[in-house]
Copies of this chain bind each other. A is one copy, B any other.
Amino acid sequence: MAVTMNDVARAAGVSLKTVSNVINNYEFIRPATKQRVLDAIDELGYETNLTARSLRSGKTSMLGLVLADLSVPYYAELASDIMKAAWSRGYRVLVEQSGNETEHEKAALQGPFRSLTDGLLFIPLSLDAEQIIAAAGSKPLVLLGEFVQDPRLDMVLIQNQEAAAAVTAHLLAGGRRRIAVLGAHDGDTTGSNGLRLDGYKAALTAAGVEYDPALVVPCNWRRDAGADATSRLLDSGVEFDAVFGLNDVLALGAMHELLLRGRKVPEEIAVAGFDDIDESRFASPSLTTVAPGRAEIAERAVELLIQRIESKDAVHTVQQPEAAFELRVRQSAP
């Protein structure tokens, strides 16, 4: 079986607790004793059993990350950043894919998954604020993404409106007047889609361009959906000289379809997205988009969550920091 502290203690001729103290860097240990213990650890190849430590200490040093699916590039890249941020602070990340299903999201918040983590980073897609609050109980929780907004919950925000307005303004500055929007419904006002649509509208208004609901095409935030939506738009006969995909994969799907149908990008139709995933830089043509500050989001979210975990009982005011965004002008909309 595995080597335990007991074995090390015996080998070093000290008590079990002294071994524990050495491992936990207890201050008052004679250098000689410490060395003897360390040698024994080395010799026996002892490894602390994190499970036992967790049971005793009540902490697992793991953060849960609940998101829809890692195969979505934005989530994968965000997850990567979050893991790095957590790692550098001594925490690991346990990822749970919700598949965007209500039941899975609930299960992730409530289920046995809870007991494995000290706190949760959650990108909600189908639960609302009430459900989240009810399900999370007292477990430290930080939300990401903007599908849920609530003054009672800690979350790291993206400047959806401002960033979307910046993209739209850029397209307008390039002379485009009929900018199609993929991924929102005409009436949307909340969630990432609603907020980004708002930004779009605000930029139109600021430029004195009329808003036309016919240009707003609802669809899932996926490549194929973006392509389909574009196809439908082209078939419908609605005129447009630019496409704004509310995320990058949508925009890339749209661009694919446009080129397939023989439209020139950006000469005839400009395309812009939102997220700045790695792929966008190397698309052909490369995609104009807005970087929502992914690394910053990851850092802040992890930091905020750990802060909540480590001062669990302290009273605290809700925090909702906003990450800075940056417009990335590329070939698809110069």
Q: Footprint of B on A, CB under 8 Å?
A: 2, 47-52, 54-55, 60, 62, 69-71, 73, 76-77, 79-81, 83-84, 87, 92-97, 110-116, 223-224, 227, 249, 252-253, 255-256, 259-260, 278-279, 281-286
- Kindly list chain B residues whose C-beta atoms are within 8 Å of the C-beta of A111: 47
Q: Closest CB of chain B to A205's CB: distance in Å?
A: 33
| 22 pairs, A vs B, C-beta closer than 8 Å | A2-B115, A47-B111, A48-B115, A49-B115, A51-B51, A51-B55, A52-B55, A62-B94, A70-B70, A70-B77, A71-B76, A71-B77, A71-B80, A71-B81, A73-B76, A73-B279, A76-B76, A83-B95, A223-B279, A252-B279, A283-B283, A283-B284
A50 to B115, CA, bound (A): 6
* Contact A70/B79 with A50-B112, A51-B116, A115-B51 known, Cβ cut-off 8 Å: yes
Interface of A is mostly: helix
Cβ of B282 and Cβ of A259 under 8 Å apart? no
Cβ of B54 and Cβ of A51 under 8 Å apart? yes
Most buried by B among A50, A97, A112: A50
How many copies altogether? 2
Q: Closest CB of chain B to A204's CB: distance in Å?
A: 28
* Contact A223/B278 with A50-B116, A70-B83, A283-B284 known, Cβ cut-off 8 Å: yes
Cβ contact of A224, chosen from B73, B282, B284, cutoff 8 A? B282
Cβ contact of A69, chosen from B80, B93, B255, cutoff 8 A? B80
Cβ of B283 and Cβ of A47 under 8 Å apart? no
Cβ of B47 and Cβ of A51 under 8 Å apart? no
Cβ of A80 and Cβ of B97 under 8 Å apart? yes
A76 to B47, CA, bound (A): 30
* Contact A114/B47 with A94-B92, A97-B80, A284-B283 known, Cβ cut-off 8 Å: yes
Closest to A87 in B: B97
* Contact A278/B71 with A50-B112, A111-B47, A284-B283 known, Cβ cut-off 8 Å: yes
Cβ of B97 and Cβ of A94 under 8 Å apart? no
Closest to A54 in B: B51
- Kindly list chain B residues whose C-beta atoms are within 8 Å of the C-beta of A96: 92
A323 to B157, CA, bound (A): 42
Closest to A83 in B: B97
Cβ of A256 and Cβ of B278 under 8 Å apart? no
* Contact A256/B227 with A76-B71, A95-B95, A115-B47 known, Cβ cut-off 8 Å: no
- Kindly list chain B residues whose C-beta atoms are within 8 Å of the C-beta of A259: 284-285
A302 to B55, CA, bound (A): 28
Cβ of A256 and Cβ of B282 under 8 Å apart? yes
Q: What 15 additional pairs, Cβ within 8 angstroms, besides A62-B94, A71-B81?
A: A47-B115, A50-B115, A51-B116, A52-B55, A55-B55, A69-B80, A76-B79, A83-B95, A84-B97, A92-B113, A223-B282, A224-B282, A259-B284, A279-B279, A284-B284
